[in-house]
Structure 1
Amino acid sequence: MTPLARIIAARIRAEGPMPLDEYMRLCLMHPQHGYYSTRDPFGAQGDFTTAPEISQMFGELVGLAIAQAWLDQGAPAPFTLAELGPGRGTLMADVLRATARVPGFRQAATVALVEASPHLRLVQRQRLGEVLHLDSAADLPQAPLFLIANEFFDALPIRQVQRTAQGWAERMVTLDAAGGLALALGAPQPLPVEGPEGEIRESCPEGAAIMATVAGRIASHGGAAIIIDYGTWDGRGDSLQALRAHAYDDPLAHPGDADLTAHVDFAPLAAAAIRAGALASPPEPQGPWLQALGIEARAARLAAAGDAGAAEALDRLTAPARMGHLFKAMAVWTKDSPPPPGFRPLPLRDGPAPQDRSGPAGAGPAT
């Protein structure tokens, strides 16, 4: 058992089965043993590699898209340039470099990073210099907000319910006969949704709450947000997974030593943004979105300048069998302004405004 596994097991023995979101929160953010609290998990030496670590092209195009949204809204000054979960600061560094030639952009921007990990805050300061570090999205300044989030929502704690013959039951973390961590079902509870026996649905109440906060700032003060993550529009099933040393792991096997993530359901995020008074786009596959922003021309220029890895990076970021289809980009923006480049408003043909789908009591929308 890992040190954190022993702590979790002791809590379960004392208090009973633990909801899955509480388990995930401890695994990722426990002050002494949490995954993000104790290490730099990014890149070849970490457990996973994100798009900004693959190529500068990703951050450059995201930055220029945000800058264009700023220009389209009249170049408000001052404004907040924010990122949720910035990792090493690679994406923000590329955004700042790419937007340096946009007149007035850098001068008007206050860079704000929403980061809970003390270790990663140090890494970000080393890379970016003095920035405004915030504990949560609720601390974002009351000002025009232009925000990016790459692989942030997938790391937020989720809850799961499973359909049984007696109704929906929440999946909990408990102990098996040998004292190891195991999944079990709680007591059945009534939920106003149907589903076949055995079906699993997930909810991420924290994600919807954060989106509501961000969209509320945008609706009140102007701005836009670009969210990139892997997931679906209306996903169902068990998507919880663990990554350890660039390989999949059992989510219960190494608490605190493996990254835990789940696929993002974009529909509740869009619903939260719309309820907060902003506009939202449907999720666009990352590959076509980056192509619409000009990544192929940028890769050709880098290759001509001697970047031997540009072609491979282009393929990795845009090919459907790699990151181009599973990863999606979604935008939120203020009413009475055009969407950020590469996005379109949520159209009626995609169905009515996305609705929250019932999940466990107090757990918000379910997927």
Structure 2
Amino acid sequence: MTSVNSAAHILDKQLKNRIRRYGPMTIAEYMNAAAEFYYSQGDVFGVGGDFTTAPEISQAFGEMIGLWSAVTWQAMGMPKPCQLVECGPGRGTLMSDALRAARQVPGFLESVEIYLIERSNALKTIQGETLKGHKTVWHSSISDCPDGPIILIANEFLDALPVRQFEKTKDGWRERQVNIDKTEQFCFTLRTTLSEDFNAPINANIGDIFEVSPAVTEFIGMVAARIVRHGGAALFIDYGHKASALGDTVQAVKGHKFHHILDSVGTADITAHIDFEAVIRAARSVGANIFGPIEQGIWLKRLGISVRGALLAKDQAPSVATELESGIRRLIEPNAMGALFKVVAIVHPGLPSPEGFSQSGSYE
């Protein structure tokens, strides 16, 4: 048994002992425990890991975000200093590509202070190697960053925040929980008491599941309030649905294959689809403007990723050019990542429409 599997076995025992002592856990509590262990193990990204994110597919993805950040900084009046913050930076690939591209904008790199929001010590080490040469500060929470103008980037960050699940029964909504069965395996059960009121669809049938994420709502509210107070913008890219909807979207991925979320706790990446309608409500509730959600493919094409891809492929060997073009297509085509992934921007009320978004600031 590998050291990771051995440690995961200990986590399995700890969670089961907790359930025996205190009763069933919410889905959110289970996801929290699993994620904290999972990301502490080190590099889980790319071909050799469990899943691949956009920055690992094409350098053009991070470059587009870097240029977006620099143009946004200009629209903010070119403040110095300005915090450039990334939440969930992975290997540091996105930030590295972003900084390389943004170097073209005079004064930007000299004005920004780079902060990475990361809890995993193993990933901090990897990020430090990737961003060698850049002065970088790590924090565990956005609240640890100093006050001031901010540009925040979060790619596939919100989807890892925990959700609570509620199931419609003949008596009303009951919360879904994680328990242990007679064979000492994790299983799903329902809370015996009815759940509190929440914004569930009125057209739900018995057996339907509705998800809410207090963690996402709280985080968006905190970021948006910070932007309203100090100026700036935040860019969120994630997969999910434009409007609140029914359905069980919690999933686990291990070795690039789907994995049952209750099997081998802590050894797979557990995520849930983002309810962008809830994100919009949270941002607007504190007075921020929000643009999108817009499909990732449309947004990237508006920023010029196709042109950048052609430049990268120019004068390359045919095999290299084909691989580069394939990466761009994967990011923008609707049947790949282009439609499932959405982009939203939260901005200070005094700023114009951010690059890549329409004037309306609503669903696109």
Residue 331 of structure 1 is matched in structure 2 by 345
Question: CA deviation digits over 1:220-274, x for unaligned, max 9?
Answer: 1111111000001123210000000000000001101111000011111111111
Q: Which residue of 2 is the match for residue 342 of structure 1?
A: 356
Distance in 1, matches of 2:343 and 2:301, equals 12
2:291 matched to 1:281?
Answer: yes
* 1:65 has 2:97 as partner: no
Q: Which moved more, 1:38-47 or 1:298-307?
A: 298-307
Runs of 4+ in 1 over 6 A off after TM superposition: none
Taking the TM superposition and a 5 Å limit, the aligned residue runs for 1:171-250 are 171-187=176-192, 188-191=194-197, 193=200, 194=202, 195-234=204-243, 235-250=245-260
2:165 counterpart (160, 163, 168): 160
Partner of 2:325: 311
What stretches of structure 2 of length at least 5 have no aligned partner? 1-7
Is the CA contact 2:81–2:112 (under 8 Å) kept in the aligned structure 1?
Answer: yes
The residue number in structure 2 matching 1:14 is 21
Counterpart of 1:56 in structure 2 is 59
Partner Cα distance (1:60, 1:340) in 2:
16
- Superposed displacement of residue 3, structure 1: 2.8
**Residue identity in the other structure for 1:202:** E
* Equivalent AA in structure 2 for residue 220 of structure 1: R
Are the counterparts in 2 of residues 66 and 340 from structure 1 also a CA contact under 8 Å?
no
Q: Cα distance, 1:347 vs. partner? A: 5.0
Match of 2:141 among 121, 136, 141: 136
Question: How many Å separate the matches in 2 of 1:5 and 1:346?
Answer: 48
- Please tell me whether the aligned partners of residues 280 and 346 of structure 1 are also in contact (alpha carbons under 8 angstroms): no
CA distance in 1, matches of 2:42, 2:190: 32
**More divergent stretch after superposition (157-166 vs 206-215):** 206-215
The DSSP-based 3-state class of the residue aligned with 2:84 is strand
The answer to whether the 8 A contact 2:40-2:122 is kept is yes
The residue type paired with residue 226 of structure 2 is R
Map of 2:130 onto structure 1: 127
Equivalent residue for 1:43, pick from 36, 41, 46: 46
Identity in percent = 42
Give 3-state SS (helix, strand or coil) of 2:258's partner. strand
User: Residues 6 and 132 (structure 1 numbering): CA distance in 2 closer, same or farther, change over 3 Å?
Assistant: same
Q: Cα offset for 1:140?
A: 2.2
**1:147 & 1:66 partners in 2: Cα distance?**
9
State the Cα distance separating 1:83 from its structure 2 match: 0.4
Match of 1:104?
A: 107
TM-score by length of 1: 0.91
Contact 2:92 2:127 in 1 (8 A): yes
Q: Cα deviation per residue 1:89-118 (whole Å; 9 max; x = unaligned)?
A: 000001110011211100010000111111
**Structure 2 residue identity aligned to 1:78:** P
Q: How many correspondences in the alignment? A: 346
Conserved 8 A contact 1:283-1:330: yes
Equivalent in 74, 77, 87 of residue 74 of structure 1: 77
Q: Is the 8 A contact 1:279 1:345 kept in 2?
A: no
- Say whether the 8 Å CA contact 1:69–1:339 is kept in structure 2: no
What letter is aligned with 1:105?
F
User: Do 2:25 and 2:179's aligned partners in 1 also have CA atoms closer than 8 Å?
Assistant: yes
Counterpart of 2:20, as a letter, is R
The 3-state SS of whatever aligns with 2:191 is strand
Instruction: Tell me, in whole angstroms, the C-alpha distance in 1 between the residues paired with 2:62 and 2:98.
Output: 5
Does the C-alpha gap of structure 1 residues 202 and 134 become closer, same or farther in structure 2, counting only changes over 3 Å?
Answer: same
TM-score by length of 2: 0.92
Q: Which runs of 5+ in 1 are unaligned?
A: 352-367
Counterpart for residue 360 of structure 1: none
> Does the C-alpha gap of structure 1 residues 345 and 161 become closer, same or farther in structure 2, counting only changes over 3 Å?
farther
Task: Report the Cα distance in structure 1 between the residues aligned to 2:265 and 2:185, rounded to whole angstroms.
Answer: 12
SS of equivalent to 2:211 = strand
Q: CA deviation at 1:345?
A: 5.2
Verify the 8 A CA contact 2:289 2:361 in the aligned structure 1. no
